[in-house]
């Protein structure tokens, strides 16, 4: 029997235009599409990269909640910024949201869909995960 596949929409105008979902949940896994700093209730995006990061993480949290997951369930993130020099400006925000979660992460420098977008993140979560710290020995 196939697992149920649930698609989640944020109401973003980009979803129907491009043909994707904000998130897809199947079994214990939740895959959150690239989120940016738009406040989807107002359609506004800040010009400040740290403020965009904060709103982006709120958008991720909402998508995860709609799928029955939490920020603590995140196991993988991909940060995408058009200017890598802006990444360190987002670190305090990321520390607040993910400092205790500590998912595997990658930062990529690439152009984003709209010029005003300065921060995007893609997330993979597994429901019910708990963080256990282990040391890597070489």
The total of structural domains in the chain comes to 1
User: Could you give the C-alpha distances from 52 to 6, 17, 59, 122, in angstroms and in order?
Assistant: 27, 22, 10, 14
pLDDT of residue 138: 63
Domain that holds residue 100: 5-126
pTM above 0.85, yes or no: yes
Mean pLDDT by 10 residues, the chain (138 residues): 84 85 94 94 95 98 96 98 98 97 97 95 91 64
CATH of the domain at 60: 3.30.1330.40
Question: Do the domain assignments include residue 75?
Answer: yes
Beta bridge partners of 105: 77
């Amino acid at each position: 029997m196939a697992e149920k596949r649930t698609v989640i929409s944020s109401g973003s105008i980009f979803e129907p235009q491009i043909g994707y979902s904000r998130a897809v949940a199947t079994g214990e896994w939740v895959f959150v599409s690239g989120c940016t700093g738009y406040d989807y209730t107002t359609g506004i995006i800040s010009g400040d990269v740290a403020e965009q990061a904060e709103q982006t993480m709120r958008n991720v949290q909402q998508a995860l909640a709609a799928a029955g997951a939490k920020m603590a369930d995140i196991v993988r993130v991909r940060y995408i910024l058009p200017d890598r020099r802006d990444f360190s400006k987002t670190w305090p925000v990321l520390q607040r949201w993910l400092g205790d979660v500590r998912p595997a992460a990658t930062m990529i420098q690439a152009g984003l869909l709209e010029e005003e977008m300065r921060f995007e993140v893609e997330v993979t979560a597994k429901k019910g995960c708990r963080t256990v710290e282990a040391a890597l020995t070489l």
